[in-house]
Structure 1
């Protein structure tokens, strides 16, 4: 006899709700922020440069420029790359809207390219078919923390003279062919939202090996203003500065940077714990034929921002929506990543239609994200596994094999 689900009045697996993600804040983090509150600088102080150097050193890049959040950082990268009105930028629809919005802020047209059915990352062959004389850049997304195929993407960039602006919001700590993400692409964006591998509350950063991009990023985040004497077009006193571009106020605060400096010290520890949790999930779910667990390319090392399962709906008596609701009723905070970007009304109004990227659309219909964060206990994992087994068993077809 199948167990009675909580959604139908049964007893849930857990008493308390388990979110899909949660920050890990320790006493050291609190002290670091408190010290800044007692200092002379709350923003644009010494902690900014210290944090940027820590990130650049960690990923092996020459430069890092911090921003208020990942969206601001990606917008700045599009500006630095010279993306303007009429240009085309290729990205994936299987991402948060930032990946497409950032080039739109610069007036560019977004071209959506389909994804690889195994890695869920942009398919370089599909992307190449989308390249036109107007294409200026590709924004690949390291979905869930797994790096894209950067040999193929770098090859495209070289052949067609394109800029690679990597959306690695999910992927700090990940590696591609033993090279840290953040040291490979022309520019790489990391996000430090609370559910990411490390956090600054909100916050983002661009890493690059290009001094030209570095200079543009620095100026863009401060209203397009410079005080460097060598760049001034007119002469003034020691107070003098000039605005050369229409930039934004995208500066990170010292409070955020201090938290980031403290958090990065434990980043490898956080990722190690995430990998352990993933191994437990993989082992637990390998016998459930109605579920496909995440694939990891042999040349990539994911940093596991998300754990996304793929439902084999042909073996189930219901759809993803009911599975989602049933797991939520068991107090398991599942989520879905992501609604294809061009499904949103804003992009529909621009003329984008369903059917553009059939692989991404099909995957979206069957994705569910399970809880994954460093402070999860073994008992938490047990609860997630129990709930998944309970729900899948209830809705699995009797003849499924």
Structure 2
């Protein structure tokens, strides 16, 4: 039987960052198993937006540490991941000024370069947009994005250089447990891989694996849609998070705009992540155009470039479950990022590696993201309507 010191299930951004940092801490033989190809779950279709606008100190610190990691990635490793600094405009109703100002003050205390802007200042910042007098916003100067595909490719290359074994096209059938402790991973085809530690970073498949182990965890895979529009001005400048239209949007390098909804309450649940509709409906495209033109009237006649559907793995409070799984020694979970995981990837990977090797996981706080918090009636609460901004 083959052996590994740590087996990571899932080749998305979380699994790859964890593998890289485990290799750098000399954690032994690290094997990452991906049933399809790297990024096949959520990461490959991610907008990979990098912003620090959260309402909790833990997530602000993690987002900031991760942004700095992405920004310096090419200089440190010599690999281009498409880091692009755009700045992000976050807008809400003026009646929410107290909440916005409190969150911005907290972010500034933690080193985030962000300011509160009233409607005239927003108009001056983005002349292409329309802002009523009842709109206020926050401008985060350092926000931006990376290329998800380039990032995953770079992480895999770095991991392999450090000895990580990455096996694509390898399906995990089960985690074998004896007397409450992980013993091995069973693979399709009958192979077994002995290991004392399994990190379940399987994204949309993570909950399915947990159910096979008799674990009732509130992880759901859902299908958010994204619409693409040709930018009327050729190239957009800012990433947006707009509470008033309920949309987020970001510029893409090829001169088009990616648009999606901030809320996912109405998104369809996906019982089988291996078989879901990856297209986008005309109804969704029309809804996005209607809402977007409230802020950007010039998109009323913008050319539609279609879109796609992706996968989110969500929890009831829109925050991930990170850490040891109660009842099974050696089993750890990293899942449920609810659409805002890519921006936290470096901090999560470093923190998880530290957790598994006895180090300091900060800025990751394992207690904050504890796997059993829902069973204990302790969900994370956001200051905003959308938990994704928690």
Q: TM-score scaled to structure 1, two decimals?
A: 0.25
More strand by share: 2
More helix by share: 1
User: Which protein is bigger by CA-based radius of gyration?
Assistant: 1
